[in-house]
């Protein structure tokens, strides 16, 4: 299944098995005074409710600051993943 292994790093690792988002990590950062802790939680977004144009654009993003890996997927592969996610929406 392409969603689980498009080019080495599966979409499910960040977006969950159904694309509805997933808790990724939590990080506690000590402030300068060592008494104040800041907690940063990182979770992915639900990608089952976005339209195809936005979905395709986010997969093919080329900005160097993007957290998304570069997959270099064909249009047909992107459509396949998108259709899979739409079937997961009701689950």
| 47-79 pLDDT per residue, tens | 898 999 988 888 877 666 667 777 788 899 999
pLDDT of residue 52: 93
Structure-block tokens of residue 78: 């992107």
pLDDT greater than 90 at residue 82: yes
Choice among 17-21, 42-46, 51-55, 63-67 with the minimum mean pLDDT: 63-67
Q: Residue 36: give the domain boundaries.
A: 2-88
Query: Could you tell me the pLDDT band of residue 21, with boundaries at 50, 70 and 90?
Result: confident
Structure tokens at 3: 């969603």
Mean pLDDT value across residues 11-31:
82
Task: Locate 72 and state its tokens.
Answer: 């270099």
Note the pTM of the prediction, 2 decimals.
Answer: 0.72
CA distances from 84 to 1, 29, 43, 81 (A): 9, 38, 21, 5
Task: Report how many domains make up the chain.
Answer: 1
In this prediction, residue 51 carries a pLDDT of 92
């Amino acid at each position: 299944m392409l969603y689980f292994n498009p080019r080495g790093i599966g979409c499910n690792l960040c977006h969950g098995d159904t694309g509805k988002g997933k808790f990724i990590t939590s990080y506690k950062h000590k402030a300068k005074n060592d008494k104040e802790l800041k907690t940063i939680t990182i979770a992915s977004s639900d990608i089952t409710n976005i339209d195809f144009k936005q979905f395709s654009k986010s997969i093919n993003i080329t900005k160097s600051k993007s957290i998304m890996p570069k997959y270099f997927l064909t249009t047909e592969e992107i459509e396949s993943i998108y259709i899979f996610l739409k079937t997961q929406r009701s689950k």
